[in-house]
Structures are given as C-alpha cells and as structure tokens.
Structure 1
C-alpha cells in the first residue's frame, strides 16, 4: 500500500518514465508525423495550457511580470552568455574528446535560444512567475534569430545566413500569445468556472509535459540517433549533456537565490534560462549547416539534450511546486 501511495503521489514522474519506456516500443505511433500526429496534439495541448494561464492571470500580474527588468536581464544573460561561456572555456576539451562535427554540435547547442512551450509550461507547474516566463521565452526566441547565427560565426567561423524572422514571430504569436490573449478575454466569463475546477485544471500542464516527453523520445528513437553512432560516442554525449545540464541548472539556481529573487521568479529563471530549443534548433541548423555532410552529428547534442532537460526540469518543477505550496 505504501508503494501504491508513493506512485499516486509521484504520478507525474512515473508518467514520464512510462512515456520513455512506451516510446521505445511505439516510436512510429508517437513520432512527429506518425500515426497519431502527436505533434498536432501537443501543439493543441500547449495552446490549451497557455489559454488556461491567460484565464488564471490578472492583468495586474501580467504588467508586473513584463516590468521585471532584473528578471529579464538575468534570464537572457543565462541563455546567451552563461552557456556560450562554457564553449569559450572548454572548446579545446570538446575538440580533443570527440570528432570535430560532434564538438561543434555542442557549440551549436550552447548558442541556441530557450524553448517556449516547455519553459512556460514548467514554470506554471512550479507555480512560478508565468508572465515573466512568457515574456522571456518569447524574447529569447526572437533574439535567437539574430544572436545564434552571430555566435556561430564567431565560434565556428561560418558565414552568416538569413533566417525567417517573420516566421519565428508568427510561431510565437500562434503558439503562445494568441491563446494567452484569448484566455484574458475569456476571464470575465470563465474565471469562476476555472476556480471551481482548479484541481483538474492544475494537472493539465503536467499531462501536456508527459506528451511532450513521449513525442520527443519517439522522434529520437525513430530518427535512430541511438543507433547511428557508436555506443562510446552516445555514452560520452549523454554524459556531457547530463553534466552540462546539472552544472548550468544548479549554478543558475544558486546565482538566482543569491540575487534575492522570489521563489516564483527563481523558478522562471531556472526554467527559461537553462533550457535550449529543439523545435527552432533543427530548422536553424539546416540553414546554417546546409552544405555540411555531418549535419546528423551536429544535431546529436540538441537531440539528446532536449529530452534530458525536459525530464530533469519536470522533476525540478515538481519540487518547486511543493515548496510554493508549503510556503
């Protein structure tokens, strides 16, 4: 009975583990473009989560989130300065440990912008500063259109490329801002309903994260990133991804706590400032490295890092939620 109680209490973590196991056997079913077209379901789910965030946030809270410039500067520096600093300090180590294409893949990972959907969703799970997370995740995506190719030129001596800026802006509007605005407009009509069903609504974002984990691992398995490389290369890449993630997350967490951020702001810092985008990272890589025959190896670090960061940050989000509830 104690085991059953423990599983019920930690159903979110158990659900993510089951999603990974299920993806191992059903990658064709859950991959993007597969039988379920899960990428569409995930997009709809993310839209619903943002709609519910909009429904639950007062205009006063949103204004407070946007005006928090100290939070914005901290998050953007974590994304576009702290991560690239790792490459500046350890580029020789990466190049000595692995093939140059794989090393440059880690360089590419470090200069990518933050994720949008999972960063905001996990900040919501953690009961953090969702308006601040929305603003910074969106800002990171827009800045990344310019900063990522620029840093690639500096670090890897590649010629810059022109990215579709308007496409990035449209994606942000459709995936994030539009549902949020719709939720705000619906507040006068649905806020009482949302309060009444708060317990159910509070679990929806966790369900969506489990779907994102399942979809991400199905994509990884279907694209054979686990079989196209040697066991040693995969093991080394996974180990580096785990070490980098733990180092960055807990360093940023420590710096945020020392900077006297509130618990809600600290959650936004951790989940927006430490995550890297796969959704924008792959299309950008195809443009930047268009003529490179080693594109698969360059993409390996972000393909590995993405599910690892989702899994670990989801566990961390649960801990933040418990702290917030206790407080």
Structure 2
C-alpha cells in the first residue's frame, strides 16, 4: 500500500527545487559575497566533489567491455549532442535580434545538455532494456557533455551573457569538473566499492549541491528583478516548446530504432537514454557558465520543465513496456 502511494507522490527532488525557488523569493541573498560562509565558494567546492564522486562510481573496465555495441552508443550520443541542438538551431534565424532570443538560447542550452544518469538507468531496468549499455551511455554522456555543452554555448554566449568570458569558463571546467572526474576514475580501483556502498549518501550530497546552485541562481535573479521582463504568456509558450521538443525527439527516435533494426532491449535503451536531458548537469553548468551573471536562473527554467515532464512521461512508458510479454520491437 505504501509503495503504491509513493508512485503518486511528487518527486522529492523536484519539490526541493521548488522549495529553493520559494526560499530565494522570500529570503534572497543567503551566503552573499562578504558573508562568513560565501555560498559561491561552497558551491564551487561542491561541484568539484560532486564530479569526483561521479568519476569514482565509473568502472573503467565496464566502460571498456561495453564499447563493442558501438552502433547503439553512437546513436544515443548523436541524438543527445547533435540532433537536439540542430533542431533548436534551425529556429535561430527566426528569433535572432528579437525579444525572444534569450529565451531561445535557454532552450538551446537545454538541447546541448547530456543525458540523465540515474533515471535513465532506472527506467531502462523497469522496461526490460539493455541495462549495461544504459549505464555506459548515461555515464559517458556526462563526460562528453563537459566538453560539448560549453562548446555549443560558446557560439552564442559571447554575444548574450553579460560578463561572460569563455576562456575563464574553460579554466573553471577543467578545475571543477575535468580534473575531479579524472581523479575519480583513477581512484575507482581503490575506492570504487566504497562509492557503490555509499551511493545513496553520495546521491543525497549531489542533490544538495544542485539545490544550493538553484537557490543562488534564483536569488541573484530575484535580487536583480530579472523575471519582470518575462511575460506569463512567454512562460506558457516556453513550456509548450520544451514539451514539443521532447515528443519530437522521442517519436523520431522510435523511427530510427526501426530503421536500424535494433532489438527490443537496445531499442528501449536508445529511446530512454537518447530522449532525456540532465537537470543535474544543467544546474552544474549554469553554476559554471553563468557564475557572476544574472541570467543563470533563466537557463534553468526550460531544463526544469523538461526534466519534470520526462520523468512523468517515461515512467508511464517504462511501466507499459514492463507489462508487455516478449514483444519483438518497439
């Protein structure tokens, strides 16, 4: 009975994010510059530790063993880092120079993000997909995103983000993300089992860092009154665009699976991993790419909408597939 009830309760992480936004609106400026404990410094340290744990949980041996399924891996990463951005990029000429250009860039940021890790693996497992490949692609997607997400964004951020310097961002990415991930991979041999035993605590730490980033981003925006320039109608349109993007990629991926003649298990993995975007990586990237600017929270809005909807919809699809009896294809 309790387990059934839990299915209908709101996702705790999403509720925490909403709580941070409310707190930022009511009490902005906690841990501001000059405080005894500056939130920005805590977040930088938290991001580095987050990605160290992320690398620590990755098994180099498992990643190596799963490389043989290269068609599946290639398709997922092409959808994640090429198809998504190109879909949104096609609309740039229509919105360039308009009042909606910044909102377009926020959606483009969503499109350039890597896939989720935990939820992709969980949903693939529920649906009966190829679990090892799901783990590999969900994991490697975050590593690839360290390079490709800021690379895509660099095409436009010099023009859009006040105070943005791409060279400084690259240095921050190396210090806060790339070096910790590499150290984690190196230390996996000795501490990997410890990370697996404590993955629940590590996950709680990860989410705490994200909540701190969300609070700081929205606190800065409320302090600078940045949301006053976004009409309610624009937010509704933004939500419709984000959900439409999800269905366009989701249904398109189904057709690609058929064209490539993937079996049921591989098709599920491509469908679930390829259509998802990571709120965790989005929040971290906002903390790095837009540190010192007031636009950061705007770039989280489409990511939050997409993340919440993908969890809801794909959980329904996963349960549907789990009830099917040996179907041949999706």
TM-score bin (small chain)? 0.5 to 0.7
> The residue matched to 1:121 in structure 2 has which SS?
helix
Asked whether the 8 Å contact 2:89–2:108 carries over to 1, the reply is no
- 1:159-203 Cα deviation digits (max 9, x unpaired): 25221213345678999x9469969xxxxxxxxxxxxxxxxxxxx
Alpha-carbon distance change, 94 to 250 in structure 1, aligned in 2, over 3 angstroms: farther
Matched, 1:18 2:9: yes
Alpha-carbon distance change, 324 to 136 in structure 1, aligned in 2, over 3 angstroms: farther
Alpha-carbon distance change, 311 to 98 in structure 1, aligned in 2, over 3 angstroms: farther
Q: Which position in structure 1 is the counterpart of 2:35?
A: none
Q: Which position in structure 2 is the counterpart of 1:72?
A: 73
Asked whether the 8 Å contact 1:129–1:265 carries over to 2, the reply is yes
Matched, 1:113 2:114: yes
Asked whether the 8 Å contact 2:123–2:318 carries over to 1, the reply is yes
Asked whether the 8 Å contact 1:66–1:131 carries over to 2, the reply is no
Q: Which position in structure 2 is the counterpart of 1:166?
A: 179
Q: Which position in structure 2 is the counterpart of 1:129?
A: 130
How far does residue 108 in structure 1 lie from its aligned partner after superposition?
A: 0.7
Alpha-carbon distance change, 142 to 15 in structure 1, aligned in 2, over 3 angstroms: same
**Structure 1 CA distance for aligned equivalents of residues 236 and 96 of structure 2:** 16
> The residue matched to 2:104 in structure 1 has which SS?
helix
> The residue matched to 1:280 in structure 2 has which SS?
helix
How far does residue 288 in structure 1 lie from its aligned partner after superposition?
A: 1.4
How far does residue 255 in structure 1 lie from its aligned partner after superposition?
A: 0.7
Alpha-carbon distance change, 245 to 172 in structure 1, aligned in 2, over 3 angstroms: farther
Unaligned runs of 5+ in 1: 1-7, 33-46, 184-207
How far does residue 99 in structure 1 lie from its aligned partner after superposition?
A: 3.0
**Structure 2 CA distance for aligned equivalents of residues 245 and 120 of structure 1:** 18
**Structure 2 CA distance for aligned equivalents of residues 72 and 268 of structure 1:** 10
> The residue matched to 1:142 in structure 2 has which SS?
helix
- 1:70-111 Cα deviation digits (max 9, x unpaired): 111111101111101112211234557863322211111111
Alpha-carbon distance change, 181 to 25 in structure 1, aligned in 2, over 3 angstroms: closer
Q: Which position in structure 1 is the counterpart of 2:236?
A: 235
**Structure 2 CA distance for aligned equivalents of residues 151 and 67 of structure 1:** 28
- 1:227-278 Cα deviation digits (max 9, x unpaired): x554312211111111000111110121112210011101110111111111
Asked whether the 8 Å contact 1:101–1:294 carries over to 2, the reply is no
How many aligned residue pairs are there? 259
Q: Which position in structure 2 is the counterpart of 1:271?
A: 272
Q: Which position in structure 1 is the counterpart of 2:319?
A: 318
How far does residue 315 in structure 1 lie from its aligned partner after superposition?
A: 1.3
Asked whether the 8 Å contact 1:282–1:299 carries over to 2, the reply is yes
RMSD: 4.3
- 1:112-160 Cα deviation digits (max 9, x unpaired): 1111111111111111001001111111111111111111122444625
Asked whether the 8 Å contact 2:113–2:278 carries over to 1, the reply is yes
Alpha-carbon distance change, 22 to 270 in structure 1, aligned in 2, over 3 angstroms: closer
**Structure 1 CA distance for aligned equivalents of residues 320 and 124 of structure 2:** 12
Alpha-carbon distance change, 15 to 243 in structure 1, aligned in 2, over 3 angstroms: farther
Q: Which position in structure 1 is the counterpart of 2:100?
A: 99
Alpha-carbon distance change, 326 to 151 in structure 1, aligned in 2, over 3 angstroms: closer
Q: Which position in structure 1 is the counterpart of 2:249?
A: 248
